[in-house]
Amino acid sequence: MSRACSWSPSICPGWRKAVSEAAPLAIWIVAGEESGDQLGAKLMRSLKARLGAARIRFDGVGGHAMEREGLKSLFPLEDIAVMGFSAVIARLPTILRRIRMTADAAVAAKPDLLVIIDSPDFTHRVAQAVRAQAPGIPIVDYVSPSVWAWRPGRAPKMRAYVDHLLALLPFEPEAHRRLGGPPTTYVGHPLIERLDEIRPAAGERGAAPGEPLRLLVLPGSRRSEVSRLMEPFGQALALLKERSPRPFEVTIPAVPHLADEIRHRAADWPVTPTFVQGEAAKWEAFRRADAALAASGTVTLELGLSGVPMVVAYRVSKLEEVLKYLIKAPSIVLTNLVLGENVIPELIQWDCTPEKLASALLPLLSDTPERRRQEEAFRRLDDLMRIGDEQPSERAARIVAEVLGESRARQPSA
């Protein structure tokens, strides 16, 4: 789609006046799961603060958090927020109908802007359909697909239907530039807004002499992860109990939908875990933890920002194992990718054995070079991930406003 100027306000100076005028704004936001709903709600809050709550109408697809900020959702988010291959197959007809419904409704509404958030299998199909039917609607993508890890060919294809991409990870703009993706800006990870909750106060971390150490175990948020990791995790703890010079207690922050299964699978562990649920209890456990054993995922970034040394593990099915040859990233651990070096041990598939897990964990339970190396690396995360005085949602809202203004500045005067 040809444009009179790029999204950048420095190139298209009329954007600021165009977006500051009092005309009402229609903004569509489409999320596909709960994490996107949370991101969308923060973005909406920041857009209202920047542009004026009274002049914005929000429509699209979202959950309870976005609805509390004023979104009128086409249908319940639960219709499409499914996890796991079998669950997706079972709901596929519904999901395909919802894609068509969402795209058709957005085209009919003729919004000033469409924002899609994460969940690319859903949101990108919506964006492609909208661009095909209404090429004049600017589209912003909030959260990059993992094109830097696998299927890099997605990046150049996104240019056809994404005008600007808001990235959560600092290395993603360069990855999209290298791969030929759309214009991309690092806006910051939402965890940056929660550092006070994640990080310990003075005296909160570090067991006193004679007290047991505190070990976090995080077996994943998907049923397949829990089913594959709980057994080797429990066996690794048995070995660690024999070898550790100090006793330790185990805490598992269990995701609600898997809490019963995790309890059942931990029933025969050699160390009886304490189970906690809810964000407040989870962050308290992070602040008190001395070390962690975790499944790969966003939780590794949470642990890194909290300053908890960790060992990361992952197992997949035999079918999924074939896909590892398509993965281009040098690590599966987000914290390692942000740091640009493999500081955190990662034990994947056949390396995910009780012996190797216990051997990697043991040095993290005392003052060792392995522990100090991780702690020193974590102190670099702030410089790598911070974005100045703005919060991530504020920076995202500023760029959305710039794209809005650039679009309005290009429109012919009435």
Q: Which domains does the chain have, with CATH numbers?
A: 15-188+387-410 (3.40.50.2000), 196-385 (3.40.50.2000)
For 188, list phi and psi in degrees, rounded to 5: 100, 150
Span 96-123, average pLDDT:
96
Cα-based torsion angle of the residue sequence 341, 347, 351, 353 in order, rounded to the nearest 10 degrees: 150
Cα–Cα dist 141/164, whole Å: 6
Question: pLDDT: is 11 or 222 the higher one?
Answer: 222
Is residue 158 within 8 A of residue 165, CB to CB? The reply is: yes
Span 382-387, average pLDDT:
88
pLDDT at 125 over 50: yes
Give the burial string for 45-84 (b: 16+ CB within 10 Å, else e). Answer: bbbbeebeeeebbbbbbbbebbbebebebbeebebbbbee
pLDDT at 328 over 90: no
pLDDT at 11 over 60: no
User: Pick from 308, 280, 408: which is nearest to 15 by CA?
Assistant: 408
Share of the chain above pLDDT 70, in %: 88
| Averaged confidence pLDDT in the chain | 89
Q: How confident is the model at residue 72 (pLDDT cuts 50, 70, 90)?
A: very high
User: Pick from 248, 244, 346: which is nearest to 289 by CA?
Assistant: 248
The contacts of residue 141 (CB under 8 Å, 6+ apart) are: 115, 116, 117, 123, 124, 127, 158, 162, 164, 165, 166, 182
Question: pLDDT: is 13 or 317 the higher one?
Answer: 317
Cα–Cα dist 269/262, whole Å: 11
Angle between helices 354-361 and 223-243 in degrees, nearest 10:
60
**Tens digit of each residue's pLDDT (9 = 90 or more) over 172-207:** 999 999 999 999 999 999 999 999 999 999 889 987
What is the SS3 assignment for 106? helix
pLDDT at 5: 35
User: Pick from 287, 273, 113, 99: which is nearest to 203 by CA?
Assistant: 287
The contacts of residue 327 (CB under 8 Å, 6+ apart) are: 149, 150
Number of other residues whose CB lies within 10 A of the CB of residue 263: 13
Least trusted range by pLDDT, from 65-69, 265-269, 300-304, 326-330: 326-330
Share of the chain above pLDDT 90, in %: 73
One-letter amino acid of 96: L
Is residue 170 within 8 A of residue 384, CB to CB? The reply is: yes
Question: pLDDT: is 317 or 272 the higher one?
Answer: 272
User: Pick from 386, 383, 339, 329: which is nearest to 191 by CA?
Assistant: 386
Sign of CA dihedral 123, 125, 129, 135: positive
Span 241-249, average pLDDT:
95
Question: pLDDT: is 51 or 87 the higher one?
Answer: 51
Q: How confident is the model at residue 317 (pLDDT cuts 50, 70, 90)?
A: low
Least trusted range by pLDDT, from 196-210, 224-238, 281-295: 196-210
pLDDT at 284 over 90: yes
pLDDT at 6: 37
